[in-house]
C-alpha cells in the first residue's frame, strides 16, 4: 500500500479510484452485478460519481481502448491502471472544461494503486491525450472504437435490422430512461402525477400506466415508493403483464420471476393465484422484498422451472409468463458490461436454454391457456426464430401476438410472443 494519506471522501480522485476497481473487475471477466461499487458508508455523491464513471467508461470501452493504444509504448499489465485511464478519458471527453482537475485527480488516484508506481505514466498519458485529442479521434478505426460495440454484435444487428441497426446502436450507447409503474390498486396515474408535481419531479405518461421521469431520481425521493404506490420498471417491461391479460381467479405462473417486477404487475392488474419461480435463492429473496413493499402475495419457490417434477403439483395454469434467460442485448445501456463480457457462442447457449424452458412449461398450461414468451433481447435467434420453431413443432401451439420492441427514448428492447394452447 502507498504511504500517502487517504483520499478525501468527497474528491473526484476517490470516485476515480472506486470506479477503476469496478471497471478492472469487469476487464477481468466479472459482471458488474457481482462487483460492489463502493464500500458501505461511502458518501452518496461520491458513489454517484463513481457509478457515472463506471458506466460511462464501459459504454465506450472499445472507444477508450482505441484512444489509449497509441498513447502507450506497450500494453498495460495492471488492469486497475488501465481502468483508471479509461475512466479518466471518459471524464475528459464529457467534462472538457475541467481537464486540469481531472488529470490531477487521476494522478492522485494512481498514487493509491501499485504503491504509486504508475503516477508518472497516468500523468503523461492523459496530458498527451489532451494535446493529441483531435488527431486520436480522427484516427479511430474498427467497430469497437467507432460504434462502441463488439464487431460480432454489430454484424448480427446489421443482418437482422439493415435499416434500424444505427438507431439500436445509438440507443445502446446512450443513457436509459427511468420509468415508473403506478400501482393502480392504490391510485391512478393522474393522481400520482400530481404527487410528483408537488414534489417538484417532472414526468410524462408512457404506456398504459407508466410514467417516464424527465430526470432520474433516487427511489427515496419518489412519493410513496416505500408504501408501494409506485415501482421502477421500464415501459417496455410493463408490456408483459398487459399482454398476458390475466383475469381474477386464474392460476398464473411466473417461471423466471426475479426480481419480481412483472409478477407484481400481474398481481396489481388482477386477483390471481400466482406462483413465482427463481432458481437462485438470493434473487428469490428480491421477489419477496418486492411483493412485501407492494403489499402483494404470491407463492415464491426456489426452483429451476425446467425441472417440473421438483415444483409442480400437477394443477394446470391458465397463464404462464416465461421471461427466459437471454443475451440482454435489448437492455445493454443499463448493463454496459454485458456487451464486452458476452461472446457470440453464448447466443446458442441461451437459445438452447430457451427451448428447454418452453418444452418444460408447455405441458403445465391448461387447454385454452396462454403462455407469454419474453426476452430483453433484439437478436432474432432468441426471439422470432425461437418461437416460430416451437409453434411449428408443437401440436396445439397457436401464435396470437408478437412484438419486437427496439430500444429507443421511451423504453428498452424487448420481445414478446403470446402463444395459446388450442388443445
**Tens digit of pLDDT for each residue in 378-406?**
999 999 999 999 999 999 999 999 999 99
User: Helix, strand, or coil here: 310?
Assistant: helix
Q: Which pLDDT does position 39 carry in this prediction?
A: 84
Per domain, the residue ranges of the chain are: 12-147, 178-233, 234-421
What are the two backbone dihedrals, phi and then psi, of residue 35, each rounded to the nearest 5 degrees?
-110, 120
Residues 6+ apart with CB under 8 A from 324: 256, 350, 353, 354, 357, 358, 373, 374, 375
Q: Is the pLDDT of residue 122 over 60?
A: yes
Q: Are 210 and 193 a contacting pair, CB within 8 Å?
A: no
Q: Once rounded to an integer, what is the mean pLDDT over residues 218-226?
A: 96
CA distance 322 to 247: 18
Q: What Å distances lie between residue 118 and 76, 105, 115, CA to CA?
A: 10, 14, 8
Q: Which CATH class is domain 178-233?
A: alpha beta
Q: Which pLDDT does position 183 carry in this prediction?
A: 95
Q: Which pLDDT does position 3 carry in this prediction?
A: 67
User: Helix, strand, or coil here: 323?
Assistant: strand
pTM, two decimals, is 0.94
Q: Is the pLDDT of residue 36 over 90?
A: no
Q: Which pLDDT does position 4 carry in this prediction?
A: 78
* Among the listed residues 293, 255, 237, 296, the one whose alpha carbon sits nearest the alpha carbon of residue 272: 296
pLDDT-based confidence at residue 356 (cuts at 50, 70, 90): very high
pLDDT tens digits, one per residue of 303-355:
999 999 999 999 999 999 999 999 999 999 999 999 999 999 999 999 999 99
Q: Which contiguous run of DSSP H or E holds residue 404? A: strand 397-405
Q: Is the pLDDT of residue 263 over 50?
A: yes
The residue behind cell 471497471 is: 23
* Among the listed residues 171, 90, 361, 326, the one whose alpha carbon sits nearest the alpha carbon of residue 252: 361
CA distance 144 to 9: 34
The mean pLDDT of the chain is: 96
Q: Once rounded to an integer, what is the mean pLDDT over residues 105-132?
A: 97
> Taking the CB of residue 395, how many other CB atoms lie within 10 A of it?
7
Cell numbers linked to 15: 470516485
- Tell me which fold the domain 234-421 belongs to: Rossmann fold (3.40.50)
Active site residue 376: yes
What are the two backbone dihedrals, phi and then psi, of residue 104, each rounded to the nearest 5 degrees?
-60, -40
Q: Which contiguous run of DSSP H or E holds residue 421? A: strand 414-421
Q: Which pLDDT does position 1 carry in this prediction?
A: 41
Q: What Å distances lie between residue 139 and 57, 59, 63, 126, 150, CA to CA?
A: 19, 20, 11, 17, 18
Which of these CATH numbers, 3.30.560.10, 2.60.40.420, 3.65.10.10, 1.10.940.10, describes 12-147? 1.10.940.10
Cell numbers linked to 42: 461511502
CA distance 236 to 226: 23
Q: Which pLDDT does position 2 carry in this prediction?
A: 47
Amino acid at each position: 500500500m502507498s504511504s500517502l494519506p487517504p483520499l478525501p471522501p468527497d474528491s473526484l480522485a476517490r470516485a476515480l479510484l472506486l470506479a477503476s476497481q469496478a471497471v478492472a473487475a469487469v476487464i477481468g471477466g466479472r459482471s458488474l452485478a457481482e462487483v460492489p461499487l463502493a464500500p458501505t458508508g461511502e458518501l452518496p455523491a461520491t458513489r454517484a460519481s463513481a457509478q457515472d464513471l463506471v458506466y460511462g467508461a464501459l459504454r465506450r470501452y472499445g472507444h477508450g481502448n482505441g484512444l489509449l493504444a497509441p498513447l502507450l509504448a506497450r500494453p498495460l499489465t495492471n488492469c486497475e491502471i488501465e481502468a483508471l485511464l479509461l475512466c479518466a478519458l471518459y471524464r475528459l471527453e464529457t467534462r472538457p472544461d475541467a481537464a486540469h482537475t481531472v488529470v490531477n485527480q487521476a494522478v492522485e488516484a494512481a498514487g493509491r494503486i501499485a504503491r504509486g508506481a504508475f503516477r508518472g505514466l497516468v500523468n503523461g498519458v492523459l496530458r498527451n491525450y489532451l494535446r493529441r485529442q483531435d488527431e486520436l479521434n480522427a484516427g479511430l478505426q474498427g467497430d469497437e472504437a467507432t460504434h462502441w460495440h463488439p464487431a460480432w454484435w454489430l454484424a448480427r444487428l446489421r443482418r437482422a435490422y439493415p435499416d434500424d441497426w444505427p438507431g439500436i446502436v445509438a440507443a445502446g450507447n446512450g443513457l436509459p430512461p427511468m420509468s415508473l409503474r403506478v400501482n393502480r390498486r392504490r391510485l391512478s396515474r393522474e393522481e400520482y402525477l400530481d404527487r410528483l408535481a408537488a414534489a417538484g419531479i417532472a414526468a410524462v405518461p408512457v404506456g398504459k400506466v407508466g410514467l417516464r421521469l424527465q430526470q432520474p431520481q433516487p427511489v427515496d425521493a419518489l412519493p410513496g415508493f416505500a408504501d408501494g404506490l409506485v415501482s421502477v420498471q421500464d415501459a417496455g417491461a410493463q408490456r408483459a403483464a398487459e399482454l398476458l391479460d390475466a383475469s381474477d381467479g386464474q392460476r398464473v405462473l411466473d417461471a423466471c420471476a426475479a426480481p419480481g417486477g412483472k409478477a407484481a404487475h400481474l398481481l396489481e392488474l388482477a386477483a390471481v393465484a400466482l406462483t413465482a419461480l427463481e432458481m437462485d435463492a438470493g434473487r428469490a429473496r428480491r421477489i419477496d422484498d418486492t411483493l412485501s413493499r407492494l403489499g402483494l402475495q404470491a407463492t415464491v419457490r426456489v426452483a429451476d422451472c425446467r425441472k417440473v417434477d421438483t415444483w409442480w403439483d400437477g394443477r394446470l395454469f391458465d397463464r404462464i409468463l416465461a421471461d427466459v434467460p437471454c443475451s440482454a442485448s435489448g437492455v445493454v445501456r443499463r448493463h454496459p458490461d454485458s456487451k464486452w463480457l458476452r461472446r457470440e457462442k453464448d447466443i446458442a447457449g441461451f437459445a438452447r436454454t430457451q427451448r428447454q424452458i418452453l418444452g418444460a412449461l408447455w405441458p403445465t398450461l391448461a387447454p385454452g391457456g396462454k403462455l407469454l414468451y419474453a426476452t430483453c433481447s433484439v437478436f432474432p435467434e432468441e426471439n422470432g426464430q425461437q418461437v416460430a420453431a416451437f409453434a411449428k413443432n408443437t401440436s396445439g401451439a397457436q401464435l396470437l401476438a408478437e412484438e419486437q420492441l427496439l430500444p429507443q427514448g421511451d423504453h428498452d428492447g424487448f420481445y414478446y410472443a403470446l402463444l395459446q394452447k388450442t388443445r
